[in-house]
Structure 1
Amino acid sequence: MNTEELVKAFYTEKQNFLKEYLSKNPDTEVGQLIKSLNLNDEQNAIMEKVMNNTLTDVFYSILLGLDGCASIGGIQEMYELKDENGNQLSGEIEGYAYEYFHESNK
């Protein structure tokens, strides 16, 4: 795995959460709670934006925190991330995270 693949995996997880939470037959508690609101189409569109932006903020913040570009719990430091083969995964996370979470829908 390389750094871009790590970021892409986080982005894929975000997209999977969003899809599950907003599905018509959700398996998660969050999805069930959203469904229980019985939102109309306009409200569903707003909920989708709220959830998308929330998940983007959370995943993006975690990635930047791991890269040392933002704090995690008020502590800002760079972490050394490696895959199981010893390949370095930190140091370039910020650029890929911005690309995946803010520039495009890959």
Structure 2
Amino acid sequence: MSPKEFINNVVKSIDCLVASYSKGKEGPTYLGYELDNIGLTLLQREKVLALVKLAVGEATHNIICGIEGAVSLGGSQQSYKLIDETGNELTGELGELLYKKLENSAYMNQG
């Protein structure tokens, strides 16, 4: 797997998670269930989901950057190596790839 493929899969996972949240009580998540219980209008719900998507994207980016040693994870800053099962090292450019992917998508263009 290449770093780009890995990041594409990470973004797909984020999208699937947010889609699960948007299903409300019909979905498999507690957050989705709670969204149905707080009585939001459709516009408010869309805005909340957009903020959730942004938060999940930013949190994921922070964790990826922490793995690569660009920021600290829990107060400890060091570099880790992420290697796939065939021995390909994925770390080194993941944070930058994810940032570009999020920057060019709806994550950071919610306005």
In the superposition, the TM-score normalised over structure 1's length comes to 0.89
What's the counterpart of residue 51 of structure 1? Answer: 52
Q: Provide the C-alpha distance between the structure 2 equivalents of 1:38 and 1:13, rounded to a whole number of angstroms.
A: 27
Residue deviations 1:41-94 (CA, integer Å, cap 9, x gap): 221122112211111111111111111111111111110111000001111112
Q: Provide the C-alpha distance between the structure 2 equivalents of 1:97 and 1:76, rounded to a whole number of angstroms.
A: 19
Which aligned pairs between 1:24-35 and structure 2 lie closer than 5 A? 24=24, 25-35=26-36
Assess if the C-alpha contact under 8 Å between 1:7 and 1:63 holds in 2.
no
Aligned residue identity for 2:19: K
What do you get for the CA RMSD once the two structures are aligned? 1.4
In the superposition, the TM-score normalised over structure 2's length comes to 0.86
Q: Provide the C-alpha distance between the structure 2 equivalents of 1:104 and 1:33, rounded to a whole number of angstroms.
A: 26
Report the CA distance between 1:15 and its aligned residue. 0.6
Q: Provide the C-alpha distance between the structure 2 equivalents of 1:95 and 1:56, rounded to a whole number of angstroms.
A: 13
Aligned residue identity for 1:5: E
Q: Provide the C-alpha distance between the structure 1 equivalents of 2:81 and 2:55, rounded to a whole number of angstroms.
A: 26
Q: Provide the C-alpha distance between the structure 2 equivalents of 1:87 and 1:99, rounded to a whole number of angstroms.
A: 22
Aligned residue identity for 2:6: L
What's the counterpart of residue 95 of structure 1? Answer: 96
- Overall identity of the aligned pairs, in %: 24
What's the counterpart of residue 109 of structure 2? Answer: none
Q: Provide the C-alpha distance between the structure 1 equivalents of 2:19 and 2:69, rounded to a whole number of angstroms.
A: 30
Q: Greater relative contact order: 1 or 2 (C-alpha under 8 angstroms, separation 6 or more)?
A: 1
Assess if the C-alpha contact under 8 Å between 2:69 and 2:77 holds in 1.
yes
Aligned residue identity for 2:2: N
Assess if the C-alpha contact under 8 Å between 2:35 and 2:45 holds in 1.
no
* 4+ long deviations beyond 3 Å: none
User: Number of matched residues?
Assistant: 105
